[in-house]
């Protein structure tokens, strides 16, 4: 099938590559000329396991192309995906300017039936707005061309995006047109062989499904962080509590890890945007607001522990930070907990020596060269001359360190374990002080 995708970010590029992999002819459009140029050279600008070889292979086989030129790309596709960013507006609601700009461009150029499929995470009612925008532009040029708009929210996880895209848990299709549903059924058939994963519903329900999923996941994290904060105060270990509750199949072990707060490009903005949608519709989303507030406080947790350890005076101290990306297996630093920690440390006069397997370039891009940030290629190099170590991202490379070596390199050996990776007893037996999240020993 012939597919066009607007946006070559985490969602657009992965979707494009996976659809091409199944034999479709895919054209990806982006307004970022630099990104398109790099992609044309086979250089994938983001880190996502398995993505680069897939992009290269499909480019070489002529099934995947990149362009900044929207008009021929719209002429190419029977299915036009919108996968552009929906960043938070000033008041926290989703900013639809990129989505509506694509809708306008489609309306300006469409010359035969196509379906416009929205993959971006957008507030309820956006399908109607996209439909209206396309229709207005068609009308302005007296075009009678027919089109359908579908809401098809994306559930891939950064770090596992290719795998998730190839083997989705579910494919949510919000559509009122049987013709559009049939086309998407055909497109997704190769991803839908084992059992029917397609859940068809109306557009509004599909749009809300995406927010509900992210809000539920964020709620699980904030809930566990709240339990961790209670555990810390009552002398309980939240890691034991986690295993104790996870054994109940109604709760389960997934996604109940306490830590230094959630980040990334989705949970923070989506929880906020859903809260704003609720508010705009006359409902005060008390729980969602609390989820956000708990997370915000949690992101300051590591700094509080470190600051308390040094009696509130961090001037001249050096903190080694393992992990910068908002989670393992990505280079994405959007809303990463490491950013809050580093910024708080810098404000307090401390220096950071940081190591991340993939996010060093992104960190450099965000913060530039600064004397109080040293980016190290190797984990142990980050410890040289550092006073203490903070763990912010649970990359595999950090899971089983040589604690004796860590102790030997740190000036005042202490580990602030923002992801509860280590056994506190093993760390203390190796001669280091241990601070975790909610482990009954942090106060």
Number of Cα atoms under 13 Å in the Cβ half of residue 409: 21
Q: What kind and span of H or E run contains 115?
A: strand 114-118
Nearest distance, CB of residue 344 and ligand NAD, angstroms: 26
Distance CA 100, CA 51 (A): 28
Distance CA 193, CA 391 (A): 41
Nearest distance, CB of residue 441 and ligand NAD, angstroms: 35
DSSP 351: E
Q: Which residue, 159 or 413, has its beta carbon nearer to ligand NAD? A: 159
- Tokens 């760390």, residue located: 427
Chain residues 45-104 in contact with ligand NAD, contact rule CB under 6 A: 83-86, 98, 101-102
Q: Is 120 in the site for ligand NAD (CB under 6 A)?
A: yes
Q: Is 362 in the site for ligand NAD (CB under 6 A)?
A: no
Q: Is 116 in the site for ligand NAD (CB under 6 A)?
A: no
Chain residues 151-210 in contact with ligand NAD, contact rule CB under 6 A: 154, 156, 158
Q: Residue 240: which region, alpha, beta or left (left: phi > 0; alpha: psi -120 to 50)? A: alpha
Query: Site size for ligand NAD, by CB under 6 A?
Result: 26
355 as an active site residue: the answer is no
Q: Is 12 in the site for ligand NAD (CB under 6 A)?
A: yes
Q: Is 86 annotated as a binding residue?
A: yes
Q: Is 137 in the site for ligand NAD (CB under 6 A)?
A: no
Distance CA 134, CA 109 (A): 10
For ligand NAD, which residue of 4, 93, 121, 338 counts as binding (CB under 6 A)? 121
Q: Is 256 annotated as a binding residue?
A: yes
Q: Which residue, 269 or 309, has its beta carbon nearer to ligand NAD? A: 269
Tell me which of 18, 28, 165, 266 is the catalytic residue: 266
Distances (CA, A) of 78 to 27, 146, 200, 257, 376: 11, 12, 20, 43, 47
Distance CA 304, CA 282 (A): 37
Distances (CA, A) of 117 to 43, 114, 120, 206: 27, 9, 9, 12
**Residue in the shown chain whose Cβ atom is closest to ligand NAD:** 9
Active site residues: 266
**Which residues carry a binding-site annotation for substrate?**
155-158, 210, 255-259, 263, 327
Binding site for ligand NAD (CB under 6 A): 6-12, 29-32, 35, 83-86, 98, 101-102, 120-121, 154, 156, 158, 265-266
């Amino acid at each position: 099938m012939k597919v066009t995708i607007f946006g070559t970010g985490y969602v657009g590029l992965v979707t494009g590559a996976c659809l091409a992999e199944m034999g479709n002819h895919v054209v990806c459009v982006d307004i970022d000329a630099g990104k398109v140029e790099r992609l044309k050279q086979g250089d994938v600008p983001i880190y996502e396991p398995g993505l680069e070889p897939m992009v290269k292979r499909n480019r070489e086989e002529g099934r995947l192309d990149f362009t900044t030129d929207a008009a021929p790309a719209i002429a190419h596709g029977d299915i036009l995906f919108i996968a552009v960013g929906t960043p938070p507006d000033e008041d926290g609601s989703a900013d639809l300017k990129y989505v509506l700009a694509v809708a306008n461009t489609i309306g300006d150029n469409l010359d035969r039936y196509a379906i416009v499929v929205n993959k971006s995470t957008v507030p309820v009612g956006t399908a109607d707005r996209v439909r209206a925008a396309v229709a207005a532009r068609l009308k302005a040029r007296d075009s009678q061309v027919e089109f359908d708009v579908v809401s098809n929210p994306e559930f891939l996880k950064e770090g596992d995006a290719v795998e998730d895209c190839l083997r989705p848990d579910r494919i949510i299709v919000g559509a009122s047109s049987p013709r559009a549903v049939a086309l998407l059924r055909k497109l997704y058939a190769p991803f839908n062989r084992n059992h029917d994963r397609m859940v068809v519903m109306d557009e509004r329900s599909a749009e809300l499904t995406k927010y509900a999923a992210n809000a539920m996941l964020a709620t699980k994290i904030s809930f566990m962080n709240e339990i961790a904060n209670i555990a810390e105060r009552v002398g309980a270990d939240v890691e034991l509590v986690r295993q104790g509750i996870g054994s109940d199949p109604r709760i389960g072990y997934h996604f109940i890890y306490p830590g230094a707060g959630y980040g990334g490009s989705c949970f923070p903005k989506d929880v906020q945007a859903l809260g704003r949608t609720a508010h705009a519709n006359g409902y005060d989303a008390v729980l969602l607001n609390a989820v956000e507030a708990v997370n915000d406080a949690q992101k300051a947790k590591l700094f509080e522990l470190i600051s308390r350890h040094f009696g509130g005076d961090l001037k001249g101290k050096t903190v080694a930070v393992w992990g910068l990306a908002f989670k393992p297996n990505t280079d994405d630093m959007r809303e990463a907990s490491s950013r809050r920690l580093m910024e708080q440390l810098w404000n307090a006069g401390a220096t950071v020596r940081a190591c991340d397997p993939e996010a060093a370039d992104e960190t450099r891009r965000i913060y530039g060269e600064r004397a109080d940030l040293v980016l190290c290629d190797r984990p142990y190099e980050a410890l040289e001359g550092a006073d203490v170590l903070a763990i912010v991202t649970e990359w595999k490379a950090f899971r089983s360190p040589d604690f004796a070596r860590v102790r030997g390199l740190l000036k005042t050996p202490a580990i602030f374990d923002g992801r509860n990776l280590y056994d506190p007893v093993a760390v203390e037996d190796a001669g280091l002080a241990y601070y975790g999240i909610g482990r009954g020993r942090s106060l």
